[in-house]
Structure 1
Amino acid sequence: MFFYPALEDGDYSRHRPGLQHLAFVVKTREEVDRLHAWASARGADVLHRPREFPQYGPAYYAAFWAGPDGLTLEVVCHR
């Protein structure tokens, strides 16, 4: 769990205290790609296309997008 100081006033912001994002673990990189395509096809605001994020650990392949309420959603494969 991470806590960050508030940087903005108002409704939900990923920069304010509270839930920052939800991550869903999947078994394959292909599932990450498929779910990214699913979100993109529905007009989601894609924050990060599928790729490796070595700063988060070895074999960390993920995609991020904003949900309908602005909450960051992540799908990740650790293989």
Structure 2
Amino acid sequence: MLFPARDAGTGPHRHGRVGWQHLAFAVGSRADVDRMHAVALAAGWTPVRDPKPYPRFTDRYFASFVESDDGIRIEFMHNPPRDASS
């Protein structure tokens, strides 16, 4: 379980404000991104961005984002190394 670090009465974190934005977990495949996204949704987390490629990061970047009721955002990402022959 994760708990936000904040002063009493300050409310949950809001994306875009100064401070911790999200926690990213690297996984072994695109299928793992899909699977972890589904697990998070089944646990009651809110989808922020469904699994998809993010070519603005790299041509191999594939990720999803979910968020808890407390504003904790989690990213599941797969960004394999560029093939050595490229």
Matched AA of 2:71: G
Residue 67 of structure 1 and its aligned partner are, at CA, apart by 2.5
What is the CA RMSD across the aligned residues, in angstroms?
A: 1.3
Extract unaligned runs of 5+ from structure 2.
1-9, 81-86
In structure 2, the partner of 1:53 is 54
Residue 68 of structure 1 and its aligned partner are, at CA, apart by 4.0
Under a length normalisation based on structure 2, what TM-score does the superposition of the two structures give? 0.74
In structure 1, the partner of 2:17 is 16
Number of residue equivalences? 70
Structure 1 Cα separation of the partners of residues 79 and 43 of structure 2: 25
Structure 2 Cα separation of the partners of residues 70 and 23 of structure 1: 14
Q: Percent identity?
A: 36
**Residue aligned with 2:56, SS:** helix
Whose helix fraction is larger, Structure 1's or Structure 2's? 1
In structure 1, the partner of 2:37 is 36
Under a length normalisation based on structure 1, what TM-score does the superposition of the two structures give? 0.79
Matched AA of 2:64: A
